[in-house]
Amino acid sequence: VRRSNEVLAAESVACLNKALGHLRDIWEEIGIPEEQRLQRTEVVKKHIKGLLDMMVAEEENLKERLLKSIAMCRKELDTLCKELQLDPFEEEEESTILQLEKDLRTRLEVMLKQKRERKQELKTLQERDQDLCDLLCMTPYSIDSNSVPSLEELDCFRRHLAALAAEKERRREEFVRVKRQIILCMEELDHVPDTSFERDVVCEDEDAFCLSMENIAALKELLQQLEARRALNEAVCGELRSRIVELWDRLQVPAEEREAFATYMTGSRAKTRKAVRKPCPV
């Protein structure tokens, strides 16, 4: 490289000398006096020096801009490494100013992208967490929204959401199962939902039902109450059927007449209870 620079410098000097020689020949042919030739040569010298000084200044400005960019990139990289909890960026030894600036700028762009992606993922995870917490009536996951989350923090958040989603499915399955039993009990009891909670359970969209532990417990309690009423009705109907059979036996009611009443000898719905009460003496 040094040899190439020396050759280029020599060629530049040769070109300059050739041009000056050509100018002198022209001035001599024209007949310009020696004093004026010296003055014109001085003008050429000043012109060339000014051009070279301008080129040097431009390159010095380029160097200063590169050094300022390097300083800015180093400062921002230091901040980003702390925010992203990464090891400091290691610069390559014996790197030129131009290559160092390029490496730092490239690394800065990569880390800024990582920061944006982590912040965006955190926002997405928080939105999912809020939706699940609203449905399950739970407190949102505790994490600083203003700082850049570490990869470990994001992983912990994802695992937390997976556990919440599993809990949601567990409660949803329990809700659907208990709801189905409640509806069956209400049908057997000819019971029309008469409280806001019963209407929420039976009539509203399943996805709109709040799956809090309190609601699940209230759901089970409602089922127990309905099952207790059904059990009581079944016991009453069983007692009435026993009395009917006893009366049939005493009155020697034929089997074909008993068969006509067979439909009401099972179950405990209101229609059945009403039917089995009729044959019984008051």
| pLDDT single digits (tens) 155-177 | 999 999 999 999 999 999 999 99
In a domain, 202, yes or no: yes
- Helix ranges (H only) for 84-150 are 97-136
| pLDDT single digits (tens) 86-145 | 888 888 878 899 999 999 999 999 999 999 999 999 999 999 999 999 999 999 999 998
In a domain, 262, yes or no: yes
| Single-letter residue type at 104 | L
Question: What is the count of structural domains for the chain?
Answer: 1
Q: Of 87, 86, 106, whose CA–CA distance to 95 is shortest? A: 106
In a domain, 68, yes or no: no
In a domain, 168, yes or no: yes
Q: Of 92, 156, 194, whose CA–CA distance to 164 is shortest? A: 156
Output the CA torsion 233→235→239→242 (10° steps): 110
Does pTM top 0.85 for this prediction? no
Q: Mean pLDDT across the stretch 64-85?
A: 94
What confidence category does residue 280 fall into, taking pLDDT thresholds of 50, 70 and 90?
Answer: very low
In a domain, 164, yes or no: yes
In a domain, 232, yes or no: yes
Task: Answer for the pair 143, 178: CB distance below 8 angstroms, yes or no.
Answer: no
Longest CA–CA span in the chain (Å) reads 161
In a domain, 211, yes or no: yes
- 32-50 burial, b for 16+ CB within 10 Å, e for fewer? eeeeeeeeeeeeeeeeeee
In a domain, 70, yes or no: no
The per-residue pLDDT of the chain, averaged, comes to: 87
The whole domain housing 238 covers 159-281
Instruction: Provide the sign of the torsion angle of the four alpha carbons 23, 29, 30, 31, taken in this order.
Output: positive
